Structure 1
Amino acid sequence: MSLNAYRRAQSIAETPRATEYRLMSQITGEMIDARDAGLAGAALMPALHRNREVWSAFSALCGTPGNALPDELRARIISLALWVERYTSEVITGRDSIEDLILINRAIIDGLARENIAN
Structure 2
Amino acid sequence: MSLQAYKTAATRSESPREMEYRLFGQVTRALMHAATVDTSDIATRIDALDWNRRLWGTLASDCADGTNAMDMKMRANIISLSLFVNTHSSAVMRGDEDFEPLIDINRMMMQGLAGPGQQAV
TM-score, normalised to structure 1, is 0.90
Tell me how far 1:50 sits from its aligned partner. 0.3
Quote the residue 1:67 is aligned against. Answer: 68
Compare 8-17 and 36-45 and name the one that shifted more: 36-45
Residue 66 and residue 85 in structure 1: after superposition, are their counterparts in 2 closer, same or farther (change >3 A)? same
Quote the residue 1:117 is aligned against. Answer: 116
Task: Report the aligned-residue RMSD.
Answer: 1.7
Quote the residue 2:105 is aligned against. Answer: 104
Trace 1:1-119 onto structure 2 (pairs within 5 A).
1-39=1-39, 42-43=42-43, 44-113=45-114, 116-117=115-116
TM-score, normalised to structure 2, is 0.88
Structure 1 residue ranges (4+ consecutive) displaced by more than 2 angstroms after TM superposition: 36-43
1:55/1:81 contact within 8 Å kept: yes
Matched pairs, number: 116
> Which segments of 5 or more consecutive residues in structure 1 lack a partner in the other structure?
none
Aligned partner of residue 72 in structure 1, secondary structure: helix
Compare 31-40 and 54-63 and name the one that shifted more: 31-40
